[in-house]
Structure 1
Amino acid sequence: MHFTETQLTNDSYGHFLNSTQVFSPDDEWIVYDTRNDDGGIGVTGRIEMANAKTGEITPLYRTQNQTPYGPGVGAATFSPVDQTVLFIHGIRNASQNNPYGFTRRTGVAIHTAKPFEPVFMDARNIVLPFTPGALRGGTHAHSWSGDGQWISFTYNDYIMEQLAKTDSTVKDLRTIAVMMPEKVTVPDDGTMENNNGEYFSAVVAKVTENPKPGSDEIEKAFDEGWIGRKGYQKPDGSWQHRAIAFQGNVRDEKNETIAEVFVTDIPDDITKASPGSPLEGTARTRPNLPQGVLQRRITYTQQGIQGPRHWLRTTSDGTLILFMAKDPKGIVQVFGVSPNGGAISQITFNDFSIQGPINISPDDAYVSYIADNSVYVTGIKNHLSERLTPTSSDEDAPFGAAIWSNNGKALAFNRRVKKGAQRYVQVFLLKEQ
């Protein structure tokens, strides 16, 4: 593979890429937020996009009344099917007493033809009576399904967070949720804590405060990815059309926490509750899973998933889930497993650890990542690794993820570039020659 590196952005502020889905469907634009470091969403007020050919900047959204406490925006992604950008948005009444936080954020979309006109995607209602299809906390790290119709995200519940302050048996446990197109209306309490949503949301991973050692119970579900563009094929030949792969924290036999690969199969209709388990939860219980959701543990390892924070990725045909773990030498490598379970295969065999999130090329041939202060790709079938950028000093090194364009002919990534006395996060491109 031969790629040429160019610097796309230059302005004296941050241009922070999400870990995936940053290219517009036609690959003409790359979306980012204006953070200058990881974290910091609460103090960041702008979403922009840069033309992938010319570097022209187009502003998309700016928060109103931005303060050091919020609302804040970040982690922007492009829909794979239309000119819609989705990002985290802090609750609009953010203040010193109620700052941006895990349970105080939501998903907002912008149609690029209508900048500065926010569309609230997931509904939020933290006031009794709660509303089916609306969540009661904060949504985060949104990812579009392959067909661009559904959205997955991690979720933290405000009601449980507040209850935990007076009840030591309760914890706010991160979990996974999804939303599908169906408008949800909630009461307006006049505080901007609640909002309507264009999509219907439901939690799809079950978590518990005290998982039994050696069991498949989990206390945290996180860093998910949609399986395949159209789901995956089960051993009996049938297709599961919507499914999520995610990391779940379990307790091993020694009662130590490790992360393993889980899959949750999702029905086409998430609006139906199981008897006695309201989707919206109660004042003392978290939201419940829709009827028909099936959660399964896929891996049973000794050390679990290890390495830098990363989201699970799958091949477009849904046959392989990629994750990171340490090899016998203690080096962080990429491994793969079927959503049906079975043997784990090693994908990378590097002499150095991977430094950030992974992504799979559109043709399923390569996995991309940052390692040894360079952008790397490895053949998923032949396991051959190739360095695409020269190795750099720690200050100048690529960081975060290397994200494929939709046609597979470019990769976008971040570097910190010195300008005057400061360093600013800039967007770089590797274009196939």
Structure 2
Amino acid sequence: MKQITFASRHHQLTNTQTWTPDGQWLVFDVRPSGASFTGETIERVNIHSGETEVIYRATDGAHVGVVTVHPQDERYVFIHGPEHPDATWQYDFHHRRGVVTYQGDTHNLDAMDITPPFTAGALRGGSHVHVYSPNGENVSFTYNDHVLRERDPALDLRNVGVAVPFGPVTPSGHHPREYAGSHWSVLVSQTTPQPQPGSDEINRAYEEGWVGNSQLAFIGDTLSLSGEKVPELFIVTLPTEEAGWKRAGDAPLCGTENTLPAPPAGVVQRRLTFTHDRTYPGLVNVPRHWVRADPQGNRIAFLMRDDAGVVQLWLIAADGSGLRQLTHCSGIQSAFNWHPSGKWLGLVVENRIALCDAQRGEIHFLTADHENPPSGDAVVFSPKGDVVAWMEETHGYRQLWAAKTAV
């Protein structure tokens, strides 16, 4: 167990894709906590020397955070808040964008157009937690809509989207806050403000994870027959050709003044779990976690309570078959990630960093005697799987730590 950072400030890891492809650097931002958004730099630290480098520095009152790395090259994508924020436009769920920096070039990932007629391929609000697909071609994100929020905040439903390299997209620029982006961006989930109780309809889609390169799984909030929120697991199959991403279905890709942007034709949302009748129905939101598929794209892992109310790891196939409880431990305390081999998952159990056997569910502890419990936000493997990193409060600051996995 080795402390990587030592500065008198906070270091925040994103929940996945935080390593450079060579396994030498961890990328992070400097928010005081996961909930605030006041960091001005995106940085990286060498896990051997402790040397830090600034990858990007925001200007003009903007803030940045939640950085991830392309799986094959040192291309970084992160959230960027608005420059020159003022009383009418400041950082918020619907006022943020994805930005990519690569070899000294920095550009917007997604475009935004908030004045009708809206532009296909552009968003109308803010994107968040940008994650490359395993082959590095596409980027997933969650989304909130400025246009509908202006009408009624209750209409601005969290959704899941994808940015694909079929841009650039350049809106007409009728509003000073609009901007162009390098990628074509669309939503791939479908939500409704008032789901029918007992149905597959959802009013929120979030915490997505890639399943191979052509599917995305995510959590969707359904309503039980009694009207209680029950988070269930959903999946969408994505287009594989440019024409498919640009072909509208029954509703415009860019939305209307009264409706959210809609998925491309052929993108069908399927529900994988049906837990309304369980003693403890639904996937859990505490600890916050993102659904994750194994490197082979065969098994999707998520957190749900067992019949005793204890949070455990569960697995299901992408076609909805084979649901099973993987762990039978004292309780999972964190988000998790798959080891690159697909044989293990990394997580926090009993306030320690642990590996879970992906077949038998056995827990193997990697650490002991933490001064403070590891953060539940991120447990992230290096590309070769020989090192795992996490965050931990150290002398009042959130610092980065790492340990050998020996697997």
- How far, CA to CA, are the matches of 1:278 and 1:171 in structure 2? 17
SS in 2 for 1:119: strand
Aligned to 2:77: 86
Q: Any residues of structure 2 matched to 1:236-251 within 5 Å, and which?
A: 242-251=214-223
Aligned to 1:427: 400
Q: CA shift at 1:396, angstroms? A: 5.0
Contact 1:171 1:209 (C-alpha < 8 Å) held by counterparts: yes
Contact 1:396 1:417 (C-alpha < 8 Å) held by counterparts: no
SS in 2 for 1:270: helix
Q: What is the CA deviation profile of residues 195-228 of structure 1, one whole-angstrom value per residue up to 9, with x for unaligned ones?
A: 1111100000010011111110111000000002
Q: CA shift at 1:130, angstroms? A: 1.0
Contact 1:370 1:401 (C-alpha < 8 Å) held by counterparts: no
Change (3 A) 1:288 1:367: same
2:316 to 334, 337, 343: 337
Aligned to 2:108: 120
Aligned to 1:55: 50
Q: CA shift at 1:171, angstroms? A: 1.3
Change (3 A) 1:158 1:143: same
2:391 to 402, 414, 430: 414
**AA of the residue aligned to 1:195:** Y
The CA RMSD over aligned residues, in Å, is: 1.5
Unaligned ranges ≥5, structure 2: none
**AA of the residue aligned to 1:30:** L
- How far, CA to CA, are the matches of 2:92 and 2:79 in structure 1? 11
TM-score, normalised relative to structure 1: 0.89
Change (3 A) 1:376 1:432: closer
- How far, CA to CA, are the matches of 1:336 and 1:99 in structure 2? 40
Aligned to 1:74: 65
SS in 2 for 1:135: coil
Q: CA shift at 1:319, angstroms? A: 1.3
- How far, CA to CA, are the matches of 1:354 and 1:391 in structure 2? 18
- How far, CA to CA, are the matches of 2:131 and 2:123 in structure 1? 17
Contact 1:372 1:391 (C-alpha < 8 Å) held by counterparts: no
2:325 to 343, 346, 359: 346
2:6 to 10, 18, 22: 10
Q: What is the CA deviation profile of residues 329-367 of structure 1, one whole-angstrom value per residue up to 9, with x for unaligned ones?
A: 21111001111012311111112x212211000000111
Change (3 A) 1:389 1:398: farther
Q: Any residues of structure 2 matched to 1:275-424 within 5 Å, and which?
A: 275=250, 277-301=251-275, 302=278, 303-306=281-284, 307-351=286-330, 353-392=331-370, 395-418=372-395, 423-424=396-397
2:193 to 203, 209, 215: 209
Unaligned ranges ≥5, structure 1: 231-241
Q: CA shift at 1:391, angstroms? A: 4.0
Indicate whether 1:98 and 2:89 are aligned. yes
- How far, CA to CA, are the matches of 2:200 and 2:398 in structure 1? 40
Contact 1:399 1:415 (C-alpha < 8 Å) held by counterparts: no
**AA of the residue aligned to 2:398:** V
Change (3 A) 1:398 1:369: same
Q: What is the CA deviation profile of residues 378-426 of structure 1, one whole-angstrom value per residue up to 9, with x for unaligned ones?
A: 1010211011111435x454442210111010111111110xxxx1111
Q: What is the CA deviation profile of residues 25-44 of structure 1, one whole-angstrom value per residue up to 9, with x for unaligned ones?
A: 11121100011211112x11
Q: CA shift at 1:158, angstroms? A: 0.5
Contact 2:191 2:201 (C-alpha < 8 Å) held by counterparts: yes
Q: CA shift at 1:164, angstroms? A: 0.8
- How far, CA to CA, are the matches of 1:50 and 1:382 in structure 2? 35
Contact 2:165 2:182 (C-alpha < 8 Å) held by counterparts: yes
- How far, CA to CA, are the matches of 1:432 and 1:264 in structure 2? 33
- How far, CA to CA, are the matches of 1:15 and 1:296 in structure 2? 37
- How far, CA to CA, are the matches of 1:218 and 1:39 in structure 2? 25
Aligned-pair identity in percent equals 33
Change (3 A) 1:378 1:118: same
The 10-residue stretch of structure 1 (5-14 or 144-153) with the greater mean CA deviation from structure 2: 5-14
Q: Any residues of structure 2 matched to 1:122-271 within 5 Å, and which?
A: 122-164=110-152, 171-182=155-166, 183-189=168-174, 191=176, 193-228=177-212, 230=213, 242-268=214-240, 269-271=244-246
Change (3 A) 1:211 1:190: closer
- How far, CA to CA, are the matches of 2:323 and 2:405 in structure 1? 32
- How far, CA to CA, are the matches of 2:134 and 2:111 in structure 1? 22
Q: CA shift at 1:21, angstroms? A: 0.3
Contact 2:115 2:175 (C-alpha < 8 Å) held by counterparts: no
- How far, CA to CA, are the matches of 2:375 and 2:231 in structure 1? 27
**Runs of at least 4 residues of structure 1 off by over 4 A?**
none
SS in 2 for 1:123: coil
